[in-house]
Structure 1
C-alpha cells in the first residue's frame, strides 16, 4: 500500500479484467520500477471518491491529461472518456 499526499490509500497495479469503474485523472507518472522496463501510471479519482493508481499502456498515458475522464469496462482496458 502507498499513501498519497492527500492521505488516500491506493495500490499501484494494473486493473483486473473484471473491474468496471469511471473516474478523473488526477496525476500522471512513469518509472522504471523493475530497473529495465518503463511503466506508466495514472492516479484516478473514481466516481465513488476512492483514489486508485493504475498501470496503463503508453497510448492511453500519452492521450490523457489531468482532469480528463477515463472509463474501465469489465473485460476491456481503460479508455479516455
Structure 2
C-alpha cells in the first residue's frame, strides 16, 4: 500500500497545543486493512468530520471526505 494513498474511517478526533502556541488537529484513521494511522488536518475538515465518517487520501493530495 502506498503510504500517500489510503482510505478508512475516523476512529478518534483530538486536538492539542503540542508546542504551546499552535493548535494541532489530529484524526486517528482505521484503514481498510485494519491498521491505524494518525493524520493532521486543517480546522475546516476537522470540524466537518465525526467518528465513523469515511476519509480518503489520494497520492499527492490532502485528505477529503469520501
- Gapped runs of 5+ residues in structure 2? none
Deviation readout 1:28-74 (Å, 9 max, x if unpaired):
00000011000000010001111111111111100000000000000
**How does the TM-score come out when normalised to structure 2?**
0.92
Alignment-derived partner of residue 32 in structure 1: 17
Runs of 4+ in 1 over 3 A off after TM superposition: none
Q: Secondary structure at the match of 2:15?
A: strand
- Gapped runs of 5+ residues in structure 1? 1-17
**How does the TM-score come out when normalised to structure 1?**
0.76
Structure number with greater CO (CA < 8 Å, separation at least 6) is: 2
Give aligned pairs, total. 64
